[in-house]
Amino acid sequence: MKNSKKLIEEYSHSGKGYNPYLIGPKWQVAQLNFMPELAPDAIKKIDVHHNTDETFLLMAGQAVLIAAKINNKELSFEVINLAPKKLYNIPKGCWHNIALSTDAEVLITEDANTHLGDYEFYYLNQEEQTELGLLIQSVWRK
């Protein structure tokens, strides 16, 4: 057999930040590693995807998943410290972000090419940043 193409493909990401490394016709898999704007005390915005759910799987380190509702310009947060090997889903239309430890690695699955345009940002004011920072610290494992 002279087929030089491997049957099993391998992907990894060792740099900082977000890297989509497998994009199919309907979905994509990406890895998110620590970057300074995702430190627990540095979250300044949340985002929403209007056309896709987004799943998160903690592979290494520590991560706090943040979900938020905006109702009449009032923001309410929900935070959870991710457990390793447990899949978490943020439904489409839900505002969210994630706080990461410096050694964190998170696997993300969502609709294909979401990172190219299916997102909107909400920038937190100082009061909202302070509230969110306290919530993150309340679940952060020391």
Give tens-digit pLDDT for 62-112. 999 999 999 988 999 999 999 999 999 999 999 999 999 999 999 999 999
End-to-end CA distance of the chain: 54
Under 8 Å between Cβ of 137 and 40: yes
pTM, full prediction: 0.89
Structure confidence by residue, pLDDT tens digits, 112-131: 988 888 899 999 999 999 99
When mean pLDDT is compared across 1-10, 23-32, 39-48, 124-133, the lowest value belongs to 1-10
Under 8 Å between Cβ of 89 and 8: no
User: Angle CA(93)–CA(73)–CA(64) in degrees, nearest 5?
Assistant: 55
Under 8 Å between Cβ of 106 and 100: yes
Question: Average pLDDT of the chain?
Answer: 93
One CATH from 2.30.33.40, 3.20.20.370, 3.50.50.60, 2.60.120.10 for 22-139? 2.60.120.10
* Residue 1 in this model has a pLDDT that exceeds 90: no
44 pLDDT band, cuts 50/70/90, is very high
pLDDT recorded at residue 127:
96
